Amino acid sequence: MSSSTATTRARDHLGVTRLTGRALTSWLHGLPGVDRVGCDARAAALGTRSIKTTAKAWAIDTAISMVDLTTLEGADTHGKVRSLCAKARVPDPSDPSTPQVAAVCVYNDLVPVAIDALRGTDIHVAAVATAFPSGRASLQVKLADTRDAVQAGAHEIDMVIDRGAFLSGRYLDVFDEIAAIKGACDRPESEGGPAHLKVILETGELATYDNVRRASFLAMLAGADFIKTSTGKVSPAATLPVTLIMLEAVRDWRDQTGEMIGVKPAGGIRTSKDAIKYLVTVSETAGEDWLDPARFRFGASSLLNDLILQRHKLRTGAYSGADYVTID
């Protein structure tokens, strides 16, 4: 989708003849406010739901299939990426029934390595772009960063919004940048078609729940395929209340437009127990249509190990030692 198409669509949605910063501000600040106490209480209540054995087995397999297995370190090597891809393909070598993960997420210069290592599978390669994690670069640099990853074959692009612009109320700047990056994700069908755009809000820096809701709607208006909580480099990263707000946003967006946008909490989700809390929240908030890797993901590295250990415990009745899984 081109920037002009995004602008036209936004004008139609807002009911204005010209998309301006004032129009966006009026629309975003006209969204219902978030009751922080109520949101926290709702998330806490959902986190206490009891999950029985059969449902737990399904939830663990579903969570594994939703993992974006991630390595985003300056010391990443070709060998580390290949090792991660091998784990993505076969998470538990002792049990071939274990689902594969949804994607492997790497820096864009390592996309060709991941593409080669995952050839013949349905596992996607996601690339972080747009001067991840700070987002502090010119639009020209961000576009070049995105195009480089798309041309290398990335199926998904994880971009970061300009939090400084958002917090300054320069919503049109944020909209224009997301729309431009969305345009840079275009690719001919003969080369795999457009890459999906996951827009990272970096919710830990947005200060208020109202800002999380506004940033979610702004990203969707500009063309996001997914909205994502965090880079994993800022604390706090993903939290259940913030994810609840984002799930409410995508639910409401579908009611308004008919479009289904995905949600990806990332950072700090390390245990099966935590992952199941998120799945319960997805089901109770957005609905079962989002209980699919095409609509919900976990950005994680260590989470997969705990899911494998818990899956093995359900299958055998005994806990395995830490050496049962690889250390990533």
User: Which is it for strands 124-128 and 103-107: parallel, antiparallel or unpaired?
Assistant: parallel
CB neighbour class for 308 (10 Å; exposed up to 12, middle 13-18, buried from 19): buried
Catalytic: 255? Answer: no
Enclosing H/E stretch for 196:
strand 196-200
Catalytic residue among 158, 173, 274, 306: 158
Residue 158 falls in the annotated catalytic set: yes
10-36 burial, b at 16+ Cβ within 10 Å, e below that, comes to beebbeeeebeeebbeebbeeeeebee
Question: Is residue 228 annotated as a catalytic residue, yes or no?
Answer: yes
Catalytic member of 87, 198, 228, 277 = 228
Active-site choice (198, 264, 277, 306): 264
Q: Cα(269)–Cα(80) distance, rounded to whole angstroms?
A: 21
Per the DSSP assignment, residues forming a β-bridge with 104 are 69, 125
22, 98, 99, 163 from 62: Cα distances, Å: 42, 10, 8, 32
What are the catalytic residues? Answer: 158, 228, 264
